[in-house]
Structure 1
Amino acid sequence: MTGGRDNDSKGPNGATGPSTSYGQHIQWVLQHHKRLQHLTKTNESDAAVTLQGDQLTLADLVAASQYKVRCQVTKDKSVLDTVDASVSFLARQLEEGVEIYGINTGFGGSADTRTSQTVDLQKSLVQSLQTGILLPSEVGVGSEEEEAMSGRRHSLPRRTVRGAMAGRCNSLLRGHSAVRQEVIETMVQMLNDDLIPVVPLRGSISASGDLMPLAYIAGSLEGNPGIYISCPTKDGRKILPSNEAFHQAGITPLTLGPKEGLGIANGTIVSGAVAALGLHETQYLALLTQALTGMCTEAMRGTVDNQHPFIAAARPHVGQIEAAANITRFLRGSKFATTSHLLGAKTGGLAQDRYALRTASQWIAPYLEDLQLAAQQLETELNSTTDNPLIDVQNGHVHHGGNFQATSVTSATEKTRLSLQMLGKLMFAQSSELINPMLNGDLPPNLSFDDPSLSFTFKGIDINMAAYMSELGFLANPVSSHVQSAEMHNQAVNSLALISARYTLDAVEVVSMMASAHLYACCQALDLQAMHDTIRETIQSATKGTIRDLFQPLLDKNELEEVVSITSKAIGHGLKEAKTKDLQDQSAAAADATIAPLFAVFSNIDKSDEVKTKLFTGITAWKDQCAKFVASSVTNTRLLFASSAETITPTYLSHGSKKLYHFVRNELQVPLHKGLVEHPTTDTPSAEGIKVDAGDRYLIGKQISTIYHALRSGRIHDVLVESLL
């Protein structure tokens, strides 16, 4: 649906809809966002994720895993009958003495063994796979000292395990795995009671599915006391052996029937769930990158023309057309972003914006397209049977294949992680330009609100961004190129999907940090640009009054206007050139910058020698008064913005920036950073008399952390979507 040219288009989850002016990627996000809101924000008591084998969306999985939305097994009789039929078919095959892999044979490279003890064989399977490493503290029997030995946890996050359980139930309901309804219903009950097995983080190569982690879920269903479950209590959470957890919850442990251990363990859903959670956040980070490009364009007084539709149409990649349109919509109504090229007005300084702004839509474009394909791949995977062997009841066959090879998940995660690296690189480039006084135009060094000799506000953020970018660049390396042969060379090729998905979540974390810091910097820069305009207007008014007082008897109206224009420009140029100096020196430099232009204009005016002498003599008085009113203009404006920036700045902003700025300043209560007076141990007011109450002084990192939490929790998603529409 790029540019509104298609009459009937399909998003990655197959939904059709009427044509709009929105591109394919943002339409997918809107549909995903709407579904997630329905499941998580409505007051409907019956809001639930229905599992039926072929309709599970990424939003459903995220709702069930991250937001703990209730799951329910479909009541569709045809679906449930198919599940029962697969169990009955397998039982008949065993009665007839049919040899079936993993049911009465060994596994993998040991499939040359045979047994008639089918129930014990399933126990043997999960026993051989429950080999992961967990710290004692992670299973409730140790202290935090053990955890400190490694510096990080060895277990999967609970939300990931929730997603894996929901997704595995969905796959088993397809009726190809001969797993009983009772097993599926028990797993769903565990989800809804928030009884989540403790599952090791590492040890899966995602070849015959995610065998090891899923074996821990299978073990919990057995009530295995060696498998632990995280249980909710009135005092928080408690880790219990699964048999005790089941006893407290009133759940009867199960004996896994023929193929049920294999049917649970032989799936790609652990890597699929991690990948889905990573892609979910990445889709919003892709939107945020476009929004931040708009904010940074305003903060740098760049041009909207960078995203002109003619440019995109001349190179009609659907992602580029969409990104350009999204950023343009975001920027509508801005008083900072110009249309200078079309109007022929941008004649000073750079003739065009630097690459981080000018080529943003071209940079973002292919990754919007990649993220759409990744979504298609993962939603297909969520609604697939990733087991072996497969039961084909209708045709009476048992198929031995390799649907558990999770390469499609790996493909999706590698694209997602590379997209994150490229989005992060764009933010890094924009942030560096925004903070660097050599590149940021009229903005002060380090985006400092107060004098630069004792205020280096965003310098540390500039360093942080370099650290984040370096780590992100490392994470972007492909995992799929590191495959090792495994399991008696039976698994000679393996997808490494879970490893890739885990690193993708790490990349999500890093890019979210970068985006939070960049958003904080953009809001600061927008305040400073609004303050700059207010200072400029105040100085211009003072310039006009002072010039008239000093020279009105000597010059006519047109000459006075010319002098006012020349001196105002000179003051602006002087302030910019001296922006690394403190206010008094900067004001003096601004006044000095007007002397040569005044001498030039007075020399060329057709006046008598007597008048010219008076004009030249007046320059000294002008210089003294100019330095004073420049300093007072800056001081008074700083005082004004210290108390009222959040009400003044939005009057300058675009549709999109206004929404994000309001979210940061008003909803999150993250204010304009006022400099050294914000430091928690500083009790001295600034030179202008600005003081911040002790209870309101926070570390810069704390303010960015507030934004980060709002981003990772999804709290920012509504306003982010609205900013681009």
Structure 2
Amino acid sequence: MKKLKKNQKSNVIYIGSTSWLTIQDCKLISKHQCFVKIRKKTFTHMNKSYEFLKKAIDQRVPIYGINTQFGDQVTLLDENFEGSSKEYYESIENRQKALINSHCCGLGDVVLIDFVRVAMILRAHCLSQGYSGVKYSAVNALVSFYNHDINPIVRQFGSIGASGDLIPLASIATAIIGGNTEVVYRGKIIKATQALKLTGLQKYNPQIREGLAMINGTTFMTAIAALAVYELKRLFDQMLTAIALSLESLKVIDCAYHPLVHEVKRHKGEIEVNNFVLACWRGSQLITNINEARSKLERPIQDYYSLRSVSQGFGPFFENLDRSINWIENEINSVNDNPIIDLDNAKIHHGANFMGYYITDACDLLKMNIAQAATWIHALLAVMVHPRKNNALPANLVKDPSNQNGFRPLQLLAASITVQCRKLAQCHQSYMLPTEGDNQDVNSLGTHAAFDLQNAVTYLDKLTAILYLAVAQALELRGIEKISDTGKKILASIRKVSPTIGKCRPLTNELNNVVMMLREEKI
């Protein structure tokens, strides 16, 4: 397949074989801030793919999921395989509808509409590339649901990430074929059939393998992962800024962040993180020179590990984030279907492109990095509130620690959230469970991993907000005139929603306000 190209056009996102979608595009799609169109260049390839597949079906070539049963029952041929064309095609059509309806059986919480929107368009993007043997009308049915903002109800449980996200995607497909399911339309939950009437859309009648094509891929897990990683990419710089400023407030010794130290270690991520930290400190009078530390001997000449090894610790996170975005964007733009129609060689390939292992590995990697980051933030907070460790800041980060608890309870809060991040860091591959008559004897659990990544990012948002509140307090205590240019800007932003903490007061609302500032990129 040729390398896909990215298209940028205001308020319109194009899908098809010459389009390259990004996690940024997925964010726009998730908020329904764009109109989606199918590239006309893809029509010809799609139609040829469909006609090639139809010809093979006419010739009674056994093809998975069309004239055979599904999964481990693939050896069961259609009962009308040798019958008349009318009976044969009616049976094929009924099989597609039965597949969709039978797999519309998810349980658990209703998932965010954002995920459903992205999943619909990623499925359409996959099918529009012309390797799935579906007609333009099938892709257009998905796109029309999105453009009319009809969002099928999808529930959390059902996918194991092998044969794709069968049950979640069937929940979408059931609505598109006018089945007995519900959708969210204009803020209300209504029957799918009612939404079709209100918008003037027709229920779709899947042909040949279009039912299978709509549900047999990785697009649901990919939608969740794409949005989670989009938020993590935003959060990474915000988190690293908070960490850099916490080091500044603790008067970290400078030599651990000398560029040469990291150049000789040779890792790109480590060097990038170190440069970022140094940039955050520009203009600061608080960073301790190693010669000053040696001459006064009021403190050790080496800081605690959490203070002096940020570059080494977060370099892998930096690189894993880039690697994971690459994997996820490849999956976004992939043909994650089975079978694959190969027009160039006039073949139909039965494979396993519905497997979600790249999504699983991307999410598992980042969950481990988030767990480490959470532990690190907790360690920094512990240093900041403890007078034995914080280089002459007052205990609890308040001027009257004998009467005020200050930030000590926030360290407890951080510990509580950190435990959740660490729990979510478990590798999903170790939980793989053979199923479906052992046909799916291995599976990716990519959707589980993606949901857990999304939750982990949410927790890291909260931890970063806690650290920002502590950083603002600590920098003020050091003296505004001494802090870095970045510190001054951050302090001004934080003080818009959270005043200096003197006497004890409830902080939940202020913390939530900082979380919202992070998500809205106001910090």
TM-score, normalisation: structure 1: 0.68
Report matched runs for 1:289-688 at 5 Å: 289-341=239-291, 347-449=297-399, 451-530=400-479, 649=480, 651-666=481-496, 669-676=497-504, 679=505
Match in the other structure for 2:24: 59
Residue 336 of structure 1, CA deviation: 1.6
Match in the other structure for 1:714: 520
Report matched runs for 1:198-217 at 5 Å: 198-217=153-172
Q: Does 1:89 align with 2:89?
A: no
Among 161, 164, 183, the alignment partner of 1:229 is: 183
Report matched runs for 1:165-314 at 5 Å: 165-224=120-179, 226-232=180-186, 237-314=187-264
Letter of the aligned partner of 1:674 in structure 2? G
Residue 122 of structure 1, CA deviation: 0.1
Letter of the aligned partner of 2:490 in structure 1? L
Among 57, 68, 81, the alignment partner of 1:105 is: 68
Per-residue deviation, residues 193-244 of structure 1 (Å, max 9, x unmatched): 22111001011101000000001111111111x2111011xxxx10011000
Per-residue deviation, residues 382-426 of structure 1 (Å, max 9, x unmatched): 111111111112321111001111111111111111111111111
The change in CA–CA distance for 1:305 and 1:76 in structure 2 (over 3 A counts) is farther
Structure 1 CA distance for aligned equivalents of residues 289 and 391 of structure 2:
17
Structure 2 CA distance for aligned equivalents of residues 345 and 271 of structure 1:
57
Structure 2 CA distance for aligned equivalents of residues 185 and 652 of structure 1:
60
Residue 89 of structure 1, CA deviation: 1.5
Partner SS state of residue 103, structure 1: coil
Residue 167 of structure 1, CA deviation: 1.0
Structure 2 CA distance for aligned equivalents of residues 289 and 337 of structure 1:
19
Partner SS state of residue 72, structure 1: strand
Q: Does 1:68 align with 2:35?
A: no
Among 8, 31, 50, the alignment partner of 2:14 is: 50
Structure 1 CA distance for aligned equivalents of residues 176 and 121 of structure 2:
14
Partner SS state of residue 207, structure 2: coil
1:420 touches 1:508 (CA, 8 Å); kept in 2?
A: yes
2:250 touches 2:391 (CA, 8 Å); kept in 1?
A: yes
Give the percent of matched residue pairs that are identical in Structure 1 and Structure 2. 28
2:367 touches 2:421 (CA, 8 Å); kept in 1?
A: no
1:105 touches 1:113 (CA, 8 Å); kept in 2?
A: yes
Structure 2 CA distance for aligned equivalents of residues 348 and 498 of structure 1:
52
Residue 342 of structure 1, CA deviation: 7.9
Partner SS state of residue 391, structure 1: strand
Q: Does 1:119 align with 2:73?
A: no
The change in CA–CA distance for 1:447 and 1:294 in structure 2 (over 3 A counts) is same
Per-residue deviation, residues 633-656 of structure 1 (Å, max 9, x unmatched): xxxxxxxxxxxxxxxx2x432132
1:371 touches 1:419 (CA, 8 Å); kept in 2?
A: no
Match in the other structure for 1:132: 106
Residue 14 of structure 1, CA deviation: 10
2:196 touches 2:203 (CA, 8 Å); kept in 1?
A: yes
Superposed CA RMSD: 2.0
Partner SS state of residue 252, structure 1: coil
Structure 1 CA distance for aligned equivalents of residues 4 and 333 of structure 2:
13
Residue 339 of structure 1, CA deviation: 2.9
Letter of the aligned partner of 1:49 in structure 2? I
Partner SS state of residue 204, structure 1: coil
Letter of the aligned partner of 1:523 in structure 2? A
Per-residue deviation, residues 665-717 of structure 1 (Å, max 9, x unmatched): 23xx32212224xx4xxxxxxxxxxxxxxxxxxx2111111111222x3333x
Structure 1 CA distance for aligned equivalents of residues 447 and 302 of structure 2:
44
1:340 touches 1:346 (CA, 8 Å); kept in 2?
A: no
1:305 touches 1:342 (CA, 8 Å); kept in 2?
A: no
Q: Does 1:700 align with 2:501?
A: no
2:12 touches 2:37 (CA, 8 Å); kept in 1?
A: no
The change in CA–CA distance for 1:218 and 1:89 in structure 2 (over 3 A counts) is same
Structure 1 CA distance for aligned equivalents of residues 292 and 353 of structure 2:
56
Structure 1 CA distance for aligned equivalents of residues 488 and 211 of structure 2:
54
Letter of the aligned partner of 2:47 in structure 1? D
Match in the other structure for 2:116: 161
Residue 343 of structure 1, CA deviation: 8.6
1:448 touches 1:455 (CA, 8 Å); kept in 2?
A: yes
The gaps in structure 1 that reach 5 residues or longer are 1-12, 16-34, 135-153, 531-648, 680-698, 720-725
1:269 touches 1:382 (CA, 8 Å); kept in 2?
A: yes
Which moves more between the two structures, 365-374 or 206-215?
365-374
Which moves more between the two structures, 49-58 or 260-269?
49-58
1:178 touches 1:259 (CA, 8 Å); kept in 2?
A: yes
Match in the other structure for 2:81: none
Partner SS state of residue 485, structure 1: coil
Letter of the aligned partner of 1:443 in structure 2? L
The higher relative CO (CA closer than 8 Å, separation ≥ 6) is in 2
1:228 touches 1:240 (CA, 8 Å); kept in 2?
A: yes
1:305 touches 1:341 (CA, 8 Å); kept in 2?
A: no
Match in the other structure for 1:642: none
Larger radius of gyration: 1
The change in CA–CA distance for 1:457 and 1:425 in structure 2 (over 3 A counts) is same
Structure 1 CA distance for aligned equivalents of residues 296 and 237 of structure 2:
29
Structure 2 CA distance for aligned equivalents of residues 344 and 14 of structure 1:
57
Partner SS state of residue 301, structure 2: coil
Partner SS state of residue 230, structure 1: strand
Partner SS state of residue 36, structure 2: strand
Partner SS state of residue 101, structure 1: coil
2:293 touches 2:300 (CA, 8 Å); kept in 1?
A: no
2:246 touches 2:471 (CA, 8 Å); kept in 1?
A: yes
The gaps in structure 2 that reach 5 residues or longer are 79-87
2:165 touches 2:447 (CA, 8 Å); kept in 1?
A: yes
Letter of the aligned partner of 1:182 in structure 2? S
